[in-house]
Amino acid sequence: MAAAGYNDGMQSRWTTEEARTFIDRYAGAHGEDLALRVFSSRLIGRDEDLVLHGGGNTSVKTTVKDLLGEPVEVICVKGSGWDLVDIEPAGLPACRLEPLRRLRAVDAMTDEEMVNQVRIQLLDAKAPTPSVETLLHAFLPHRFVDHSHADAILVLTNQPDGEALIHAALGADIPVLPWIMPGFPLAKAVADAYEANPSCEGIVLLKHGLFTFGDDARTSYERMVTLVDKAERFCAQRIAGKPRMTTSAGGGEDDARALAGEVLPTIRGALALDRGNRLYTRFVASWRGDDDLVAFSRHPDARALLELGPMTPDHVIRTKGSYLVLSEAEARDPAVVRARIADYARDYEAYFEANRARVALPPTMLDPHPRVVVVEGAGLFAFGPERKAAKIAGDLAEHTLRAKALAAALGRYEGLPPAELFDMEYWSLEQAKLGSKQPQPLAGRVALVTGGSGAIGYGIALELLRAGAHLFLTDVDLDALERVTALLREKVPGAPLESARLDVTSTASVDAAFQACVLAFGGLDVLVPNAGIAHVSTLKDMDDERFRQVVDVNLTGTMTVLRAAARLFEQQQTGGAVVLQASKNVFAPGAQFGAYSASKAGAAQLGKIAALELAPHGVRVNMVNADAVFGGDVPSGLWAEVGPDRMQARGLDAEGLEAYYRDRSLLRVPVTAEHVGKAVVFFAAETTPTTGATLPVDAGVAAAFPR
């Protein structure tokens, strides 16, 4: 936020050179007006002090030719699902302008009818639904109209004397409207306000944001920048020398990180939704621990301020109206954390019951748990069903904390009353923004995989990501891990994937990686112990040190990660899954493979012990026994170790060796790393109440049948 006090002010980002690149890129197919509309929309979207995550909207009135070649006057408005930061021409669907303007003569209109009327005028029936503020844009006469939720404007308008402050900051010629729900009444009110003040360069909506306009893209955009800059400078002057809730003495980053890692699994576990039979809907966390946010969390006024409504009601569907604030002592006590979250849920249920009659259709209550939790000394945690939602809530919460700190220094923060906030939270058009897609099998779950840079590790990681898991991938070989991570990001664009070096033979390394996983996603739900090494030797020739290395990685390394996961599972109290990648050699060991076979058998035995010990916590522990996985996109480290010996012993080349292992199985089909990954997903998804089981993925090796 440029607002570490707003001392530097806001600057225009418009350059003639960059504007020309947008004209060159888009004007040929879409016209210069729309090309510049895309450019200036992105300029607004790039500035987080103006809009965040789909907030705000823009429009341009222009002329296009219809199918018959006749000119048609249209308005192109930001469509649903698009973000100003990366909007394309397709994100500004065109509607016939004149029929929309005529709607101003209508006395009243439901929100659903308003959307219907706008969609009727779309030139492309498959285009996204234009903004709910389309009629507001259409009723204004200007060619270009911009709308933002600028932080500095909200700091001023969320005050008891918001209108007076706006006039003091921006000038008496800027009309200021009271809070009005977006829709038809607001569109008419803005048009009336402009016509009563035709020389104005913008209109402010209390507790909502700012509209600016002009006959060219640059004028409208730079009016936005100028007015917000005035608001920022006004705030800076008014609060100069005053104490700030975000003022930090510096330092303490390690303390905040340690506290966050300690308390986050408890909070995340308490937020999970119990579906019965020890199955849970879980949420992913986004932690923010900047110095100023930690300073805010320690301020004695933080709790009262964060129980008030959001800076703009648009945020309520992402963050809820109030945040839960925990003292450090409360956050360290699991029983207190669960009690405070239960209290929050009861308060939300009471809020719902008190206001449900305000909406026309009987509403269904949303999840009553908080979406943002602020912990004294740790900063803030935001939660969502997946990482993107958690990040959006976190970004909004970051700006909210900083803006509320400014508002408190300026005067007295005042949000919307709960009843009016409810109207926005349960507004049918706002609810549509959340979507209703079917969740993936591992949605909301966090998985940690060891040995992630090998062939099987890659296959497991790929299938976990495809199933919707949030993945923390680890390996002792950092270079190989980075290569595999890059490949996974190519295969699954936008994947919620983090990685870190982890040496399973080092307790310190294991603890550091598990803490990093907690801070990245909030906790752990699925552990896949997969790290393994091999050594070929007869028993009579076995080297002591090489034997110990194999046992340290394959057996002791399994114990170290099981121990770390068990502690997290117990802390979260939401069950979980362990899927141990064992081996066909557990049941059918091979000559000259004593170190590997014995250590893998021991690891499988640890898995069975874990199934016994973790069952009281609802954790399911199962084993996958793979065999003859040679690798595809990622080569197999195990076969690089044992392959040459096996080829020499059988007089085969690499291709012949693969054929030999394929044809010795009952099914005579190759086993891929992805097959192993799918078996892991089956157990991780908890679709059956199974624990202590072993699933062979070997195409049928009779000697390795579980007995």
Q: What is the pLDDT of residues 539-570, one digit of tens each?
A: 999 999 999 999 999 999 999 999 999 999 99
Using DSSP bridges, classify how beta strands 324-326 and 379-384 pair: parallel, antiparallel or unpaired: unpaired
Q: Within 10 Å of residue 441's Cβ, how many Cβ atoms?
A: 16
Provide DSSP, 285-322.
Answer: EEEE--HHHHHHHHSTTHHHHHTSPPSSGGGHHHH-SS
Higher pLDDT, 159 or 645: 159
Are 142 and 195 spatial neighbours (Cβ–Cβ below 8 Å)? no
Q: Supply the pLDDT for residue 115.
A: 95
Nearest to 181 by CA among 361, 363, 316, 348: 316
Q: What is the pLDDT of residues 328-356, one digit of tens each?
A: 999 999 999 999 999 999 999 999 999 99
Contact between residue 429 and residue 644 where contact means Cβ atoms under 8 Å apart:
no
Distance CA 274, CA 686 (A): 14
pLDDT band at 640 (very low <50, low <70, confident <90, very high): low
221/437: higher pLDDT = 221
Neighbours of 89 (CB within 10 A): 17
DSSP string, 193-246: HHHHSTT-SEEEETTTEEEEEESSHHHHHHHHHHHHHHHHHHHHHHHTTS--TT
pLDDT of residue 68: 87
pLDDT at 207: 95
pLDDT for the residue 621: 98
Q: Quick one: tokens of 567?
A: 């502690």
Angle at 60 between CA 196 and CA 430, to 5 degrees: 80
Joined tokens for residue 436 = 């209703």
**Distance, CA of 663 to CA of 658 (rounded, Å):** 9
Q: Is the pLDDT of residue 431 over 70?
A: no
Rg of the chain taking only CA atoms, in angstroms: 30
Average model confidence (pLDDT) for the chain?
A: 93
SS3 content of the chain, % helix, strand, coil (to 5): 50, 15, 35
In angstroms, rounded to a whole number, what is the distance separating the alpha carbons of residues 351 and 338? 20
Burial class (CB in 10 A: 0-12, 13-18, 19+), 216: middle
Q: Residue 654: count other Cβ atoms within 10 Å of its Cβ.
A: 12
- The answer for residues whose C-beta is within 8 angstroms of residue 276's C-beta and 6 or more apart is none
* Residue 4 confidence (pLDDT) above 50: no
Closest CA to 324 of 312, 3, 336, 445: 336
Q: What local confidence, expressed as pLDDT, does residue 645 receive? A: 66
Q: Which domains does the chain have, with CATH numbers?
A: 16-239 (3.40.225.10), 253-434 (3.40.225), 446-704 (3.40.50.720)
Mean pLDDT of 41-57: 94
Q: Does residue 114 register a pLDDT over 70?
A: yes
Can you name the residues that pair with 276 across neighbouring β-strands?
A: 279
CA dihedral over 333, 334, 339, 342, signed as positive or negative: positive
pLDDT at 463: 98
Cα distance between residue 692 and residue 461, in whole Å: 22
Query: How many other CB atoms are found less than 10 A from the CB of residue 641?
Result: 14
DSSP SS3 for 388: helix
Q: Which residue has the higher pLDDT, 438 or 310?
A: 310
- Average pLDDT (436-450) is 91
Percent of the chain with pLDDT over 90: 86
Neighbours of 24 (CB within 10 A): 10
Name the nearest CA neighbour of 565 among 606, 625, 624. 606
Q: For residues 646 and 248, which has the higher predicted lDDT (pLDDT)?
A: 248
> pLDDT tens for residues 249-294?
666 778 999 999 999 999 999 999 999 999 999 999 999 999 999 9
What number is the average pLDDT over the span 444-471?
Answer: 97
pLDDT at 648: 60
- Tell me if residue 379 falls in helix, strand or coil: strand
CA-to-CA dists, residue 603 to 274, 449, 555, 630, angstroms: 32, 15, 5, 22
Upper half-sphere CA count for residue 369 (Cβ side, 13 Å): 22
Model confidence at 2, pLDDT cuts 50, 70, 90, reads very low
C-alpha to C-alpha distance for 562 and 686, rounded to whole angstroms: 18
Is the pLDDT at 678 greater than 90? The verdict is: yes
pLDDT at residue 250 in the model: 67
Contacts of 53 (CB under 8 A, 6+ apart): 83, 318, 392, 395, 396
Residue 295 and residue 246 in contact, taking contact as beta carbons nearer than 8 Å = yes
Q: Supply 142's token pair.
A: 């200007």
- Residue 483 to residue 506: CA distance in whole angstroms: 23
DSSP helix/strand/coil, 601: helix
> Do the beta carbons of residue 619 and residue 628 sit within 8 Å?
no
3-state secondary structure of 72: strand
Rounded to whole angstroms, the Cα distance separating 640 from 638 reads 5
- Residues 554, 533: contact at Cβ < 8 Å? yes
Going by C-alpha positions, the residue among 109, 111, 92 that lies closest to residue 30 is 92
Task: Give the Cα separation of 542 and 240 in Å (integer).
Answer: 75
DSSP 340: H
- DSSP codes, 128-170: PPBPTTHHHHHHS--SEEEEE--HHHHHHHSSTTHHHHHHHHH
Q: Mapping DSSP to helix (H, G, I), strand (E, B) and coil, where does residue 113 land?
A: helix
